[in-house]
Chains A and B, each alone.
Chain A
């Protein structure tokens, strides 16, 4: 997997947009960026993924820079239920291989 780097923690006011960055400077041209989150004590949950274009779904938006070396997960109107650890991973695309999760970013949404 390409190595990813995320800030260990972030705060966000309730109702504001939460912007979570991820650096993946060693990403290869055909590798996707995936985002997961883990709410306390629960199993991680898939959020969104992308290759080069910006993506949006009902949970979040994903902005990938043109050089693909970094991305930002955006929660447009953060709620208290969005308090969780957010993981950015870049698994290999061309072969089935082990998927390693880093420490992620612990997001605290503050009332």
Chain B
């Protein structure tokens, strides 16, 4: 049972590049979410989804897009990477509680 799988684990981008962070869960959870965590800071909610085809904004949605075409997958897209988006990104899923978190994607924007 894999739980929540995030790929890649590490990524370095140049300013202006785009990329997609992948998140997949195998627990048939309706609720999925993306958080970012800056050094020494808490978790901040970016976007969340309460089911396939339904997404909504969290606390810090600017610069990010999401979609939810299946129950299993919830990708996070950076449209035009900026240095301020350097962070650790965590994906989570739950029913909606308790949430299960992935191991994170460490993203650096140069």
Contacts and interface: CB of A to CB of B under 8 A. Distances in A.
Interface residues of B, number: 27
A97 B58 CA distance: 10
B50 A104 contact: no
Judged by DSSP, the binding face of A is loop
Contact of B42 (A32, A45, A91, A104): A104
16 contacts: A34-B97, A36-B99, A43-B92, A44-B43, A46-B98, A46-B99, A87-B43, A96-B30, A96-B50, A96-B96, A98-B56, A98-B58, A98-B59, A99-B33, A99-B45, A100-B59
A42 interface: yes
B32 to A, nearest CB: 11
A87 B33 CA distance: 17
B5 to A, nearest CB: 11
Interface of A: 32, 34, 36, 38, 41-46, 49, 85, 87, 91, 96-104
B35 interface: yes
Given A49-B97, A96-B31, A100-B59, 7 more contacts: A34-B98, A36-B98, A43-B92, A43-B101, A96-B50, A96-B96, A98-B33
A102 B42 CA distance: 7
Contacts of B50: 96
Judged by DSSP, the binding face of B is strand
A57 to B, nearest CB: 12
Nearest to B90: A43
B96 A99 contact: yes
A87 B90 CA distance: 15
A99 B104 contact: no
Contacts of B41: 103
In the A-B complex, the 10 residue pairs with the closest CB atoms: A43-B101, A46-B98, A96-B50, A101-B43, A103-B42, A44-B101, A98-B48, A43-B90, A98-B58, A96-B96
B100 interface: yes
A45 B94 CA distance: 12
B98 A49 contact: yes
A37 to B, nearest CB: 11
